[in-house]
Amino acid sequence: MTTNTELIVLHTTKFGENSLVVHTLSRDYGRRSFFVRGAGKRQMSFFLPLNILEADIQESSKTTLFTARNISVRHPLSGIRNNMYKNSMTMFMSEVLFRVLKEGVYEQGLYEWCERSIVMLDAIETDFSNFHIRFLLELTVALGFSPEAMDLGPFVGDHYPIVERFMKVPFAESMLIPLSGKIRNELSEEILRYVEFHTESALNVNSLKVLHEIFI
């Protein structure tokens, strides 16, 4: 059986000389890994973090690692790939999703929200330094544990009024909330601890260090 679906790249694992296991969030399968045979140098650019792809999935009764074929890029994301700061954000966002979402998990609407977020980041030309904060907060909503005062407060402490403002104002306005690099970095770590608590996962997000260095 073959299914045509859309995939968001979270992580890749090299398999042999020219093949990959691509860890994805997919529209039809949820969080799922797929085998890509014979990925040449030209195709490797398809599998950058948070690339949005279309592929035919060849299912098999003999293995749970289905094969992805006829892969194409749905969105070129040139606004991200030509910007060092946005690229760093996509590394962070993809790593968070890769570590938080368990293989085989399907959350209704999660793929659609994630695709919208990526396309929005690609389109923004200025004032996106707060994007990853908004992304983390919206992720908690998408996963079903909305960040309310009594729940989130112990994790963010004195920063809760800032978090509350993020959640109440429209997206465009939240990008303009004035934050120092120090507070932005502290918020990232605090919200990640909140996500860790609810997902019972040790995230250890390595790319957070890169964001800290960029948004100081």
**Are both 84 and 54 inside the same structural domain?**
no
What single DSSP character describes residue 50? T
**What are the tens digits of pLDDT across the range 26-53?**
999 999 999 998 776 667 889 999 999 9
| Residue 68 phi, psi (nearest 5) | -100, 130
Q: Look up residue 22 and give its two tokens.
A: 């691509």
**Among the listed ranges 87-91, 183-187, 206-210, which one has the minimum average pLDDT value?**
206-210
User: What pTM, to 2 d.p., does this model score?
Assistant: 0.93
Model confidence at 216, pLDDT cuts 50, 70, 90, reads: low
* Straight-line distance from the first to the last Cα atom of the chain, in angstroms, rounded to the nearest whole number: 50
Of 25, 49, 73, the last residue of a domain is 73
- For residue 22, give its domain range: 2-73
Residue 154 and residue 89 share a domain? yes
Q: Are residues 82 and 64 in the same domain?
A: no
Q: Give the span between the Cα atoms of 75 and 60, in whole angstroms.
A: 28
CATH number of the domain that residue 47 is part of: 2.40.50.140
Domain boundary among 13, 39, 73: 73
92 lies in the same domain as 33: no
Which residues have C-beta within 8 Å of that of residue 33, sequence separation ≥ 6? Answer: 21, 22, 23, 24, 65, 103
Q: Is 187 a residue whose pLDDT tops 90? A: yes
Provide the CATH number for the domain around residue 161: 1.20.1440
Tell me which residue has tokens 């989130």: 152
- pLDDT per residue as tens digits for the range 60-101: 888 888 999 999 999 999 999 999 999 999 999 999 999 999
* Residue with the larger pLDDT of the pair 62 and 193: 193
Which residues, 6 or more positions from 92, have their beta carbon under 8 angstroms from its beta carbon? 132, 205, 207, 208, 210, 211
pLDDT for res 42: 66
**Stated length of the chain:** 216
User: By C-alpha distance, which of 136, 163, 158, 151 is closest to 197?
Assistant: 151
What local confidence, expressed as pLDDT, does residue 55 receive? 96
Under DSSP, is residue 100 helix (H, G, I), strand (E, B) or coil? helix
Residues 38 and 6 in one domain: yes
Residues 87 and 185 in one domain: yes
With the CA atoms of 138, 143, 145 and 148 taken in that order, what torsion angle do they form, in degrees rounded to the nearest 10? 0
